[in-house]
Structure 1
Amino acid sequence: MDRAMPDSSHRRQLTVDVRHMGSGAVVTPAGELDHHSAERLRESLHGCVAGGRYRIVIDCSGLEFCDSTGLNVLLATRIEAEAAGGQVHLSGMRPIVARVLEITGAGAVFSVHETLAEALAALPAD
């Protein structure tokens, strides 16, 4: 049986919003995080850490999908931030994205919060 590949025009482009807050940042990716779009998020997150914003909350409420490439971006950012003395917190996980963390066990290495407000409250003050 020959299966057609899904039409990529139906994929939602990944956008990344970054809000700086002292030595921290809230990074909000929205859309599909996969091997086609992961570099956009990687650049934004690396820019935060390189710019001295190593306490990062990633608001995942707008993520519609995350594959292993996207997960690797999150894990690499956690390592980079922790090496600088910082932290990465995740918030607002949709079930499809939370499932990826659950299946891989990656959820055990992140601080995961139901809401953005809870994640922000968990960060140490500047």
Structure 2
Amino acid sequence: MTAQVRDGCAVVRLRGELDIANGHDLHRRLGAARRSFGDHLILDLTGLEFMDSHGLSVIINCYKAVSQAGGSLALAAPRPIVRRTLEITGMHRRMTVLGSVEEAIAARHT
């Protein structure tokens, strides 16, 4: 995971797999990104190859936390397998899911 600020948003890039083996680490790192960069996050899922229910739970908890803090969370460029997980669970209707980081940044500023 890497994080950088772009146009007032923390863009967090995820790579590899997000599952029970590393979900706690992501939770910690997302908390650190929020403390460092604020409560407007974009998760760049371009490099995320797999996500299980535990990984999804980490993202849902982050979504709830930033929403309660007046922030936002957008998911950018999920691969088909990750997008399918979001669709099966209905999370694509609750969270903003966009085709690219650039679209997510633009949507944040509209």
Judge same fold: TM > 0.5, yes or no: yes
**1:37 has 2:37 as partner:** no
User: Residue deviations 1:58-87, cap 9 Å, x none?
Assistant: 000100000000000110001110111000
Amino acid of the residue matched to residue 113 of structure 1? L
Q: Which of the two has higher C-alpha Rg?
A: 1
Unmatched segments (≥5 aa) in structure 2: none
TM-score (norm 1): 0.81
Structure with more of its chain in helix, by fraction = 2
Amino acid of the residue matched to residue 72 of structure 1? S
Structure with more of its chain in strand, by fraction = 2
Runs of 4+ in 1 over 3 A off after TM superposition: none
CA contact (8 A) 1:20 1:53 kept: no
Other-structure match for 1:27: 12
Q: 2-side partners of 1:23 and 1:115: how far apart?
A: 16
Q: 2-side partners of 1:105 and 1:35: how far apart?
A: 21
**1:46 has 2:21 as partner:** no
Q: 1-side partners of 2:60 and 2:6: how far apart?
A: 22
TM-score (norm 2): 0.92
Distance 1:56 1:49, change over 3 A: same
CA contact (8 A) 2:7 2:105 kept: no
- May I ask how many residue pairs the two structures share in their alignment? 110
State the Cα RMSD in Å: 1.5
